[in-house]
Amino acid sequence: MRTGQVKRSVLGLAVAGLCLSMVMNLCGCTLTGRRTLRLGIYAGSPWQVHESSGYEYIDEAIARFKANHPMVDVVYESGIRINDYTQWLDDAVVMGEVPDVFVMPDEKFGEYASLGVLKNLDSYLRQDDSCSESDFFPAAVQSGKYQYSQYALPYMMNPRLMFVNVSLLKEEGLNVPEESWTPEQFLALCRQLTRDLNHDGTPDQYGVVDYDWLDLAEASGLDLFSDDGHNVDLRGDQVRKVTETYRQLTEFMGSQTEREVLMEAGRVAFAPMSYAEFITYNPWPWKVKKYSGFDWICISLPQASDRTIRYAGDSL
């Protein structure tokens, strides 16, 4: 399965189609004669926001590839909805019909790499001057490594930011946090901003919503996994500190199931927000209107002052 008509299988694609053509070149660099290269691609955005130009990027990438490999026909099945794509891909793996180059949700990478579905790209990256790890953001390319080898290249990155309800902070006499704010400052602000406005014993206004323990672990620079990714260590003072801080934070946190209601009503000060959501809903006249009854911005997520900067977000 891993070495069919063409070298399979790789996580492909990238913004504006440039990196897709680079990945496809890795697959096509040893092909001779008339061949067919099959792509696995979904329709729509992986992050549930409006997306209208995905196939344009793909077609541009195919054109770049075809210019260098005129004897290779590139085909893909269009119209696979994002919600159906993972099952479609799993079925292809079971049937031995994995596309030669395919987009893969980040959460499937470890499973597919461990099952031997993916092709080790190390040797191809070494021999191809047009494509190397240095062409990508370091944290993104790192997410495609398995047991120290490269099995995938990034298509898109979707960094996480922090939504800030500026109007709510002003009402409470508070300033927007500095970009260098820490988890401790974040906790203190959430404590100040959570209020029971109608005095019924239940908060109506919250400091934060949809912020989980792993967010805080990342903010604190907590390394849970060993370098080889095989072991998890939940012992130690730092883990206990993060756990206790998060326990306190939950006292000022709205229900995750009410995220949209709380945000649209302007009754929460902070919420992690993906970059895709930000550029779709930020308050400009030509954008989709959402969270429009108050002023809001996005800033960096809080992080410990001595933390080594790492990528927080989703990758494809």
Q: Are 103 and 314 in contact (CB under 8 A)?
A: no
Residues 141 and 172 in one domain: no
How many of the other CB atoms lie within 10 Å of CB of 248? 11
Tell me what pLDDT residue 263 has.
Answer: 94
pLDDT tens readout for residues 19-39 = 455 555 555 555 566 888 888
Nearest 5°: phi and psi at 163? -65, 135
* Rounded Cα gap, residues 221 and 202, in angstroms: 33
- Which of residues 99, 132, 155 is at a domain's end? 155
Q: Which residues of the chain carry a pLDDT beneath 70? A: 1-33, 45-54, 226-229, 283-289, 307-316
Q: Which residue has the tokens 């209208």?
A: 52
Residues 40 and 140 in one domain: yes
For residue 254, what are the contacts with CB-CB under 8 A and spacing of at least 6?
203, 206, 208, 209, 262, 267, 268
Q: Are 206 and 262 in contact (CB under 8 A)?
A: yes
* Rounded Cα gap, residues 306 and 291, in angstroms: 34
* Rounded Cα gap, residues 310 and 96, in angstroms: 36
Residues 169 and 150 in one domain: no
Whole-model pTM over 0.85: no
Tell me what pLDDT residue 9 has.
Answer: 32
Residues 89 and 211 in one domain: no
* Rounded Cα gap, residues 271 and 162, in angstroms: 6
Residue 4 located in a structural domain? no
Helix residue ranges per DSSP H, 158-294: 166-171, 183-193, 213-219, 237-249, 259-264, 275-281
Residue 142 located in a structural domain? yes
How many of the other CB atoms lie within 10 Å of CB of 80? 17
Domain extent, residue 296, equals 159-315
Total domains in the chain come to 2
Residues 88 and 169 in one domain: no
Tell me what pLDDT residue 253 has.
Answer: 97
Tell me what pLDDT residue 156 has.
Answer: 73
HSE (CB half, 13 Å, CA atoms) of 275? 11
For residue 125, what are the contacts with CB-CB under 8 A and spacing of at least 6?
26, 131, 132, 133, 150
Tell me what pLDDT residue 291 has.
Answer: 79
Nearest 5°: phi and psi at 268? -140, 140
Buried b or exposed e, range 212-228, using 16+ CB within 10 angstroms: eeebbbbbbbbeeeeee
- Which of residues 111, 136, 155 is at a domain's end? 155
**CATH number for the domain that contains residue 66:** 3.40.190.10
Instruction: Find, among 249, 152, 154, 158, the residue nearest to 209 by Cα.
Output: 249
Tell me what pLDDT residue 51 has.
Answer: 57
Tell me what pLDDT residue 140 has.
Answer: 78
Residues 194 and 138 in one domain: no
Residues 163 and 113 in one domain: no
